[in-house]
Amino acid sequence: MGKDDSDTFIWKALVQAIECYAIFFIGLLAYFMASNVKKGKVFCRINQRILSAIGISTMLSGVLINVIVNLTPIDVFHQNSILLIVIGAVFVLVSFVFEVGIRMQEEQDLTI
């Protein structure tokens, strides 16, 4: 319960703060997307943007954590940053698939 005198405390706390931000932001956006799906809006531009925002935010969090771990005196190997980058890339890929689905749905609506 005392003050941590180590020089790496602030860097470890910063990594934890970035992870907490990523989890909160992803959860909030996932809630908005789930509410859109509940309303019947699955393939819409809002959901595509939400997926893209989740992916970009996750990748940026992973990159920031990786930069902090590599440029500071933290002795801990932090593989979560690589996992965040991969998960973010998957979300961005799914976002592109949603964009194709939206275009197909718009073409189908115009055909009918």
For residue range 6-63, list pLDDT tens digits in order. 677 787 888 888 889 888 988 999 999 999 999 998 888 999 999 999 999 999 998 9
- pTM of the full structure: 0.81
Structural domain spans, the chain: 9-111
What is the phi-psi region of residue 4: left when phi exceeds 0, alpha when psi lies from -120 to 50, beta otherwise? beta
Contact between 36 and 46 (Cβ < 8 Å): yes
**How far, in Å, CA of 50 to CA of 8, rounded?**
35
**Would you place residue 71 in the very low, low, confident or very high pLDDT band (cuts 50, 70, 90)?**
confident
Mean pLDDT of 60-80: 79
* Whether residue 73 has pLDDT greater than 80: no
Collapsing DSSP to helix, strand or coil, 44 comes out as coil
Question: CA angle, corner 94, sides to 22 and 82, nearest 5?
Answer: 45
Q: Where are the beta strands (DSSP E) in the chain?
A: none
